Structure 1
Amino acid sequence: FKDLAITSFYSTTGDEIATKFIEPVLGKSVAFDRLTGYFSIHSIVSVARGLQGLYANNGKMRLVIGIHDVPAELISAMSLGQLLPEDLVTKYKNRLLSEIELLRDEAQKSAISGLAWLMRLGILEVKVAAPRTSRGIYHQKRMIFRDKLGNVIAGTGSLNETMGSRENVEEMQFNLSWQTGFSGVDLLVQSFEEIWANEAVEVSVFDLDEEFATKLLLKTGNPPNPYLVSEATDAVEASKVLELARSGIAFTPFNLSSAVLYPHQERVFAEALSRWPVRVLMADEVGLGKTLEAGTAISYLHKFHQIRDITILVPAGLIRQWQEELWKHFELDFWRWDSGNSAYVSSLGESIGNSFAGSNGIKTPRLKIVSAQWARMKPHEFTKLRPELLVVDEAHAARVSETKYGTSSTQLWKLVNEMSTKVPHLILLTATPMQVHPSEYHGLLALLGLPEEWRDFQNYEESLRIIAGSNEKPTLQRSSTLANLIVSSVESNDWMPAYLSQEEMLQIMNLREKSNQSPLEGAKYVMAAFQSFRTILIKLHPGHFFTCRNTKSGLQQFGYVFPNRQFSSPEIVMPQNLNRFESGIENYLSGFYGKTEEALVPKSRFPIAFAKSSYYQRLVSSLYAANQSLHRRRAKILAISDSINSSGFDLGLAQLSDIVQEEDSVLESSFYDDLDSKLSLLNDSEIERVQVNARQELLHINELLAILNAEGEDLPSIDPKFSAVMKELELLLKQGPVLVFSRYTDTLKGFLSLFEKSSMAAEVNGYSFYTGGEVWIKTAAGVSEATKTDVTDALDEQQISVVFCSDAASEGLNLQSAQSIINIDVPWNPARLEQRIGRIARLGQKAETVNIVNVWYPNSIEAKMYSKLLERKDDYELAVGEFPDIFSDSIRNEVTELLNPGNPVTSNLAADLVNLRQDFQTIALKEIWESEVVDYPASREMRQDFVEYTHSMLGKSNSIDAFSAISSVPGNRNSIGLNHEALDVAANYPISIEVALKQDLFASYIGDKFIAFAVSNNPDVYRLLKPLSIGKLLRTIAGNDCLTVEDLGSEFSTSAADLHLRQFIQNLPNVPHHLLAKTIFENAPSAPEITGQVSFINLGKIGGSN
């Protein structure tokens, strides 16, 4: 220090003080202690300046940074024990992390990452200071420097690490020990030591540990360690290996998503993309991850085959869900079409006002999500699009039905059918591909492109009868049909499916030869070996070729474990006065509800029965929901009446009924297809009829509201259903977290008000509210807005014990930390109930049994029907997995009969399910979908290698705390995959290799495409690394393992490299093999090929293999 040109007092700009004093002194320091009064991102940036000199001296720094602007109410809450000090600091840690996202200056980001690495390397220790009381703030500024000769500089003054202080005039007074003696510095040193040891009276300090440093690094893009100097300069860089693996096609699907796929999803990925163009129906049962499967396929096509124009057609209520999932898991920024504002909105909330398909030279986003309902009502607009890939969710809504009047199709089917001849790649998604009539599934297959013989529905239907009638004696006619279908399937493809045996391929070749001679000869040949050709038919059936389907029962055969389910329903007793209300609802709905709308559209067919049953669901959800709904209904009828009084008017479709709300998902029904987009102008007599009907309906609404008003204002407290739910909730909370579901936000809010008045609300850790439009978490620290991920994390970390959910939470949320569900109301469609149950009864659930409590008012129709259904597991699985509409239609029919006594509807659910189970379609498709289902090479060992690699690299540092919960098991937020941030942190950590580096590691390329890693012990002799051994390679680079012959392919020389690399890719089960298949899309693009010269780039050396 004595050799530096410094003085003891400075009064100048903060930048001058830093340049003339702080940075030169740090260059000579071996220890630096700092107190600073402000906790902001710029504190970190400023402190980082000059620390490289300290690092070069093998020095260390201790830093205390203060939380300056703590709200007084938070300090008071902390002093009263209502808020833990750690919670206060956590809030400010999160604020600091959020500020980093606003930085645009790369130099500032670099400074932060360098400082974070110093924290992780143990050179810098940081603590946060918070005042113990609300009377003051932590506002101390102090610097203490020590050099290697024992000299000390201690200073204090106004200098702070903020943006403004760099330009502001500041004052600093320094005591130099060689001038003033140590008495001038001892008091400042002693005060610092008290604060550092958390012994100061007015201040509490808390560590900013390596876990926080890791988060800082992740926020700045996880840059490599700038201070890392490898002891083995020719060793391979693990970070480079990760970078290459994430870019290589051989490592799909592991490098496509931050989410980790289950084996069955990996298999669907490879199978779905095994044809070109990609035209496939993804049809896994509810809860098995179709959205993630589709997202992986989309990501693959976008990343590796430059498919840039993609449109996803989804139900209106799922648009945000899809957008969030694609951004979160794949970093694909899809823009949703906001028809109300005529704008596209990005994942980050950016907006582009435009016409739907673009105009005046303005282009629309290339990645789009569009409401199926909007597209159905605006087909001329939608069909202007020319995407390369069209994805259709809930594709079963695109139906072709056989009626006594002939064939009819929904608007959605017509829309997709028109697009299917213009779009090369088409992916359909549905959990229920098999509907009641075979024509409905045949209609979906037709969209994907059936071979000529299969387009005839009678031929398709006959194929199902052939497969279902395994023991029937073949006829010549049936044999002829079978021969034609097989030949048609083979001739529609330019390849022979790999799952055919050599003997089967020979039989097909002989059949084609004989059929070319004479159709009769072909039929005779098939008839002589009918069962063999029946097996071939199953393998070549379009239902097999086009459909990827997994079922829970099928997966259990391969070791998948799903929890047992315990269903229960508490008994509810309705008071006499509420029985009167229930009877009044039935009277109102049967005689008066919807009459106003019917009068408004005298020349159109108003779906009154459907409307009544939908409104009935809402009214029987809870008393609170009934009250709110009736008030809204009254307001609407009054508005119609007032408007009619003013003048006759033309009502638009959107004004038709208040039952059409997003949470009802009523718009998913196709009954709007038949409505006129404009309603007729009313004449005088029709206006009078509207008025009369409106007055009658208002009279009955007022009577119902009067019954409820007589019960008092606090309806939730007197609702017997809510009382039963409270008792069940109290019992289930003793076992663990609970999800409380309702279809209706009104019901959720009504129950929430009752819960918050109870002692339970104060006893639980916290709770959350999750609906389509509102998400928040409440803990001891207060209420905070949240995301879907926040809710999942809070539940996993036991910060909350109850989640109040609408059906928006039944899609895509993994909440298996809970083990109980209470359904305040139960969906009529069992597939929707299964969606709710699937939040907890899923892979990864640790409890052996989950609890499902269904709550009904006594004697309700759904209670009676569900009770019977749940008694028979086979019936329930059939209703949920294959025919959910059968069950929901049965309930709706029963309700319709209740509300329309003069129009009985015949329905026998038990008989219907028996008939369906024995139906030839059910038998045949079950055999088609389950044929040739084989287990898929497990990637879990690779992920276990990732876990062991991360732990071995970070085990001796505090950084492991951030990743201590990582797991090789897929399906949860801690699952580690190839894109996991823990691997980046581990790959950049310093290593000391103690093993001999005997082998060269190469990156092999075809053209500019990275293909695989290659290992070489001898010049011009290589062996390729199997993709699933990438984790083993990382462990080898770290010196913790060695590659074995099982991790590598066979040897080859440079001269054989091109053929060997191509065969290597072709033989990988995880990589899609795009085999050409003819489709109805005539101008199909060529199947993608990897072209170019083979090259090898040396990445460095690794330890020898065993």
Structure 2
Amino acid sequence: MKYKGRSIEIIGSKKLFGKETLWIRFMADNSFAQVLREDLDEEDSQDNGMAKIRRTAIAARIKDELAQKRLLAPYESSLIPLPHQILVLEKVMNGVQTRFLLADEVGMGKTIEAGLILKEKKLRGEIKRVLLVVPKSAMIQWQTELMEHFNEKFYIYDNDFISGMARTFSKIDAEEELNFWRQHNQIIVSLDALKPLATRQGWSAERVDEYNKYRLEMVVNADFDMIIIDEAHRVGGGNQSVARFQMAETLCNAVPNVLLLSATPHRGKSDHFRRVLQLIDANAFQIEGDEMPSIPEIEPYVMRSEKRFAVDYDGNKLFPHRETIRLDVPIDPVLHPLQKELYEQITDYVRYQFGRAKGRKHNSTGLVMIMFQKLASSSSAAILGALETRLWRLQNGEDADDLSEFVDVEEDFDEINLEDYSVLNNSHNLQNEEEALTALISKAKECLRNERDAKATALVKKIYELKERDSDENFKVLVFTEFRKTQEYLIQVLEQEGLHTVSINGSMELLERQKALTRFRNEAEVMIATDAAGESLNMQFCHIVFNYDIPWNPMSIEQRIGRVDRIGQKHTVTAYNMLTDNTVDSRVYQIIVDKLDAIMNELGIDKTGDVLDSTIDMKHVNHLYLQSLLDPKRFEFAGDKWLYEIRRKLKDYKSTESALPAFGKDEINVKQAGEVKYSPLPVWLEELVDLYAISEHGKVEKLLSGVSLYNIDKQQIRAVFDPTIKGDNPDVEYITLQHPLVKQILDEVDADSPMSNVPVIKSKEGNESIGYLTIWKVSAINDNETRSVYTAQFITEKGRVFAPYGNDLWNRLVQEKDIFTYQGQAECGQIVLENEQLENNLHAIFHRMEISIQEYLHKKAEQRLKVLDYAEKRIDRIGIANIRTAKHKKLENERNQLIHTYNKGMSVVPSVKHIMTVKIDG
């Protein structure tokens, strides 16, 4: 019903001086007005009468569907959550309190799980202010995914922004101190931006205090409802005094809802694992002893989904088989004499300069020499660039030990001590480094002019072999290198060979990388990437990976392959590790990959990123590489020693591997996830908006692409109702339950419509019982809990009431377009207006809800008191006295209010609204 084009609800009426006056409520803004009935908009014509009836029927069906759902977030995201993700969401929402560690294996979608939990709690009104603490490199990725998948806008507070705001707010003269952390309700911040300082060189104690005040202290005082910490194992620290742990502990004690995300929370160390668990419940997990907490201890707090049990909606495994192939590339003395000679001369140069650096205790020079050897293994172009840069800096008096121009990743060499290594003597006289560099540069240029690198030739050959064998028209190959110069060289070589390439490296902004990723997916055959692409970008549409040069850290290889070995991958992932013969890399690869694999197989351990991240110590891996380079004679002993230590660690890992309670195969409910995937809601929403446009005299146009064009009240909307279609149409609106137009339509259906005149419809077959279809909203209302049911009741001409037949008619109005025709309007009969059986049916529905609410409130009060007890113990651990006192006071008020509310009574108020009555005329 409308007044001057605006939807209204009639809330009262009276007759005075022959005129009927109405009190109405406008649905859009809840304002009220007093008008004459004769001024209401005219009733519907035959053209749109049926559209309005079906629109109301569908809107009521959607509202009822939502009222009965245990979970809402899956229907509000732009993706369809997988069975294990639905399981995590359900278990979190059924918990006494939301304080959990999500420990799914790598690539299982912990970001999506966190987004679902966040969205669900917001839809239920349980949280409003959320702080997301993540590694710096993942900030934009989190912001993008939460917006794209859940329509949740988060603001990034990076270190520069925080410093600028701190300077600004410190100068504001206000009676009450302003807290800029309250400016937004949803904030993303990096792990280290909040980390408190104990001291800093050149800073006074006052400056350190002010630094901490505008970070951790103000965040704690900003009263966030939820905190999510990604890569939570990073905050476990080596002990309780580590700044990251102190930061996390303070935040988690101050915030009621906590989600920790980590695939490797224990890292094979019981004390570290206990510190992570303390962030969830400090009283349940004390730092005592060397034993891992037992499964029963941690089961209430930790959830883990494993790849081996991960399935799709049809019960098929999510992760295809994966294989890693070693691709040896011989440097033939006949075909590649210059390359072979260049590599040997570079190795001699590196050993000599490393020895000199060791004698002079120039650690930085020694580290540069290590990098030179890696560059030589990568490509002639990469080492040439490094040699030329070093020579220029030596000649111009600049720092020659800076490799930032051609190194694309942060190297983990901090703990290398030159004194730990002996260096094989060589007879070459390289006393004058500038002369040596000049000669090497000349050799490298000669090599590039006359020979193509052996690995580049092998790469081209292998790609064409795979392309010929692969029947997929969308053939894609991902090539990883550590160095930009090698990247540039490979682009040149592959393009010359007729391959369409695209590239990504660390100098590119995230938007540039995403555009390059789009070109790779839609146009290019080969993506050549530095390890910058190992972060944030997912490439499930590709399944062939080449590690053109091998990073020293085995975890880096896992992260590279993890870009394609993710949920959504439909093919066997094949990774080729390219190695030239008789090089430093090939000798160490033999140890850390081939022999490590053998040990893992012997111990029955699957080689995953979890294992490597928990056991591999980069200090020892670096030691192996350096020993292989500097003194190969001692390498075999060093390798055996390392393998012995790794075997011991892997045995420890095997004993702690079962420390995490994982979901069993039977727990993952494919049927329940299928309810989301195959939910009729998107179909109903599309039909609802179509009918709204028709009934409001608008226009609807359907495009072959799946896009719907609407013109309603001079407003044009390009819409899709399927999230998979939106990916190919970035300029359209994805319509969900939270879309303003849908919310408006659904709000209008709850207007208590009058029953004086009702529409009349007739079956085209003429075989329906004559009577009235009525739809009602029955609600049970309590101060803390409201439940509603939408119900259809059919009333015969003789006044008998049949709910099943009413529900059948309602379903057919929703699902079938052309089974009824609109006949006009008729006066509503007394058998509807005064029907005792109808009233009894509606009362029975209310009574069932009343009992259910009272039982629920009793259980909720018990749970809430337990939560407050937990919260009191957490607050005791907050180190900032004034904040601790304030939070205790707030908690006590909350406890008193809870007890008062519960003791006040559990009365439940009934409410019945008439949604629609339609006369069925046979």
Please classify the TM superposition score into its range, dividing by the shorter chain length: 0.5 to 0.7
Q: 1:950 to 1:276 in 2, by over 3 A?
A: closer
Q: 1:262 to 1:810 in 2, by over 3 A?
A: farther
Given that residues 1002 and 1098 in structure 1 are in contact (C-alpha distance below 8 angstroms), is that contact kept between their aligned partners in structure 2? yes
Whole-Å separation in 1 of the counterparts to 2:596 and 2:100? 33
Secondary structure, counterpart of 1:455 in structure 2: coil
Whichever residue aligns with residue 1060 of structure 1, its letter is: S
Q: 1:291 Cα deviation (Å)?
A: 1.8
Whole-Å separation in 2 of the counterparts to 1:1075 and 1:335? 33
- For normalisation by structure 2, the TM-score amounts to 0.63
The one of 428, 441, 447 aligned to 2:279: 447
Between the two proteins, what is the percent identity of the paired residues? 17
Given that residues 795 and 801 in structure 1 are in contact (C-alpha distance below 8 angstroms), is that contact kept between their aligned partners in structure 2? yes
Secondary structure, counterpart of 1:863 in structure 2: helix
Could you tell me which residue of structure 2 aligns to residue 1000 of structure 1? 775
Alignment partner of 1:266 is 2:86: yes
How far does the alpha carbon of each residue in 1:733-780 deviate from its partner, in whole angstroms, 9 at most, with x for none? 34222223334444333322222233223xxxxx5434455389xxxx
Q: 1:393 to 1:462 in 2, by over 3 A?
A: closer
Alignment partner of 1:413 is 2:225: no
Q: 1:637 to 1:960 in 2, by over 3 A?
A: same
Could you tell me which residue of structure 2 aligns to residue 550 of structure 1? 305
How far does the alpha carbon of each residue in 1:923-943 deviate from its partner, in whole angstroms, 9 at most, with x for none? 573574357971235222342
Alignment partner of 1:820 is 2:547: no
Could you tell me which residue of structure 1 aligns to residue 677 of structure 2? 943
Whichever residue aligns with residue 48 of structure 2, its letter is: V
The one of 611, 615, 620 aligned to 1:886: 615
| Backbone CA RMSD of aligned residues | 5.6
The one of 432, 438, 456 aligned to 2:270: 438
Whole-Å separation in 2 of the counterparts to 1:1067 and 1:994? 48
Secondary structure, counterpart of 1:897 in structure 2: helix
Whole-Å separation in 1 of the counterparts to 2:657 and 2:384? 49
The one of 365, 376, 382 aligned to 1:625: 382
Whole-Å separation in 1 of the counterparts to 2:368 and 2:272? 25
Could you tell me which residue of structure 1 aligns to residue 328 of structure 2? 571
570-579 or 876-885, which deviates more: 876-885
Spell out the pairing of 1:9-158 with structure 2 (5 A cutoff).
none
Q: 1:1065 to 1:306 in 2, by over 3 A?
A: closer
The one of 565, 568, 578 aligned to 1:844: 568
Could you tell me which residue of structure 2 aligns to residue 141 of structure 1? none
Whole-Å separation in 2 of the counterparts to 1:1041 and 1:916? 70
Whole-Å separation in 2 of the counterparts to 1:299 and 1:938? 19
Whole-Å separation in 1 of the counterparts to 2:265 and 2:810? 43
Alignment partner of 1:394 is 2:127: no
Whole-Å separation in 2 of the counterparts to 1:840 and 1:441? 30
Whole-Å separation in 2 of the counterparts to 1:636 and 1:338? 34
Q: 1:419 to 1:768 in 2, by over 3 A?
A: same
Given that residues 541 and 928 in structure 1 are in contact (C-alpha distance below 8 angstroms), is that contact kept between their aligned partners in structure 2? no
Could you tell me which residue of structure 2 aligns to residue 722 of structure 1? 456
Q: 1:259 to 1:305 in 2, by over 3 A?
A: same
Q: 1:985 Cα deviation (Å)?
A: 13
Given that residues 814 and 839 in structure 1 are in contact (C-alpha distance below 8 angstroms), is that contact kept between their aligned partners in structure 2? yes
Whichever residue aligns with residue 577 of structure 1, its letter is: L
Given that residues 110 and 261 in structure 2 are in contact (C-alpha distance below 8 angstroms), is that contact kept between their aligned partners in structure 1? yes
Given that residues 353 and 366 in structure 2 are in contact (C-alpha distance below 8 angstroms), is that contact kept between their aligned partners in structure 1? no
Given that residues 1016 and 1023 in structure 1 are in contact (C-alpha distance below 8 angstroms), is that contact kept between their aligned partners in structure 2? yes
Alignment partner of 1:801 is 2:578: no
How far does the alpha carbon of each residue in 1:527-547 deviate from its partner, in whole angstroms, 9 at most, with x for none? xxxxxxxxxxx3x312x2322
Could you tell me which residue of structure 1 aligns to residue 190 of structure 2? 371
Alignment partner of 1:742 is 2:478: no
Give 5+ residue unaligned stretches, structure 1. 1-225, 345-351, 402-406, 465-537, 645-655, 675-693, 762-766, 777-784, 1043-1049
Whichever residue aligns with residue 793 of structure 2, its letter is: N
The one of 829, 852, 855 aligned to 2:578: 855
Q: 1:713 to 1:911 in 2, by over 3 A?
A: same
Could you tell me which residue of structure 2 aligns to residue 101 of structure 1? none
Could you tell me which residue of structure 2 aligns to residue 541 of structure 1? 297
The one of 471, 493, 497 aligned to 1:754: 493
Whole-Å separation in 1 of the counterparts to 2:661 and 2:322? 29
Q: 1:254 Cα deviation (Å)?
A: 1.1
Whole-Å separation in 1 of the counterparts to 2:677 and 2:859? 21
Secondary structure, counterpart of 2:112 in structure 1: helix
Whichever residue aligns with residue 372 of structure 1, its letter is: L
Given that residues 398 and 412 in structure 1 are in contact (C-alpha distance below 8 angstroms), is that contact kept between their aligned partners in structure 2? yes
Q: 1:657 to 1:383 in 2, by over 3 A?
A: farther
How far does the alpha carbon of each residue in 1:898-953 deviate from its partner, in whole angstroms, 9 at most, with x for none? 35549985665654554445438735735743579712352223422447768999
Q: 1:941 to 1:932 in 2, by over 3 A?
A: closer
Give 5+ residue unaligned stretches, structure 2. 1-44, 173-177, 199-210, 418-429, 691-699, 709-718, 746-760, 820-841, 876-886
Alignment partner of 1:925 is 2:658: yes
Could you tell me which residue of structure 2 aligns to residue 203 of structure 1? none
Q: 1:826 to 1:1062 in 2, by over 3 A?
A: farther
Given that residues 268 and 652 in structure 2 are in contact (C-alpha distance below 8 angstroms), is that contact kept between their aligned partners in structure 1? no
614-623 or 229-238, which deviates more: 614-623
Q: 1:289 Cα deviation (Å)?
A: 0.9
Q: 1:231 Cα deviation (Å)?
A: 0.8
How far does the alpha carbon of each residue in 1:693-714 deviate from its partner, in whole angstroms, 9 at most, with x for none? x997767655544432332469
851-860 or 881-890, which deviates more: 881-890
Whole-Å separation in 1 of the counterparts to 2:90 and 2:495? 49
Q: 1:562 Cα deviation (Å)?
A: 1.9
Whole-Å separation in 2 of the counterparts to 1:749 and 1:924? 42
Q: 1:353 Cα deviation (Å)?
A: 6.1
Given that residues 627 and 638 in structure 2 are in contact (C-alpha distance below 8 angstroms), is that contact kept between their aligned partners in structure 1? yes
Secondary structure, counterpart of 1:939 in structure 2: helix
Could you tell me which residue of structure 2 aligns to residue 1014 of structure 1? 790
How far does the alpha carbon of each residue in 1:579-614 deviate from its partner, in whole angstroms, 9 at most, with x for none? 3443455455555469889989x9xxx799888767
The one of 823, 830, 846 aligned to 1:1054: 846
Alignment partner of 1:310 is 2:130: yes
Secondary structure, counterpart of 1:856 in structure 2: strand
Whole-Å separation in 2 of the counterparts to 1:244 and 1:1066? 25
Whole-Å separation in 2 of the counterparts to 1:373 and 1:929? 30
Spell out the pairing of 1:641-790 with structure 2 (5 A cutoff).
641-642=397-398, 658=403, 663-666=408-411, 704-712=440-448, 718-734=452-468, 735=470, 736-761=475-500, 768-774=502-508, 788=514
Q: 1:334 Cα deviation (Å)?
A: 2.3
Whole-Å separation in 2 of the counterparts to 1:612 and 1:356? 46
Whole-Å separation in 2 of the counterparts to 1:552 and 1:311? 29
How far does the alpha carbon of each residue in 1:262-292 deviate from its partner, in whole angstroms, 9 at most, with x for none? 1111222233455465332222111111122
Whichever residue aligns with residue 892 of structure 1, its letter is: N
Whichever residue aligns with residue 91 of structure 2, its letter is: E
Secondary structure, counterpart of 2:148 in structure 1: helix
Whole-Å separation in 2 of the counterparts to 1:261 and 1:822? 31
Whole-Å separation in 1 of the counterparts to 2:629 and 2:803? 74
Given that residues 779 and 846 in structure 2 are in contact (C-alpha distance below 8 angstroms), is that contact kept between their aligned partners in structure 1? no
Aligned residues: 715
Secondary structure, counterpart of 2:580 in structure 1: coil
Secondary structure, counterpart of 1:759 in structure 2: coil
- For normalisation by structure 1, the TM-score amounts to 0.54
Q: 1:450 Cα deviation (Å)?
A: 3.5
Whole-Å separation in 2 of the counterparts to 1:626 and 1:853? 23
Whole-Å separation in 2 of the counterparts to 1:395 and 1:263? 24
Could you tell me which residue of structure 1 aligns to residue 110 of structure 2? 290
Q: 1:572 Cα deviation (Å)?
A: 1.1
Secondary structure, counterpart of 1:733 in structure 2: helix
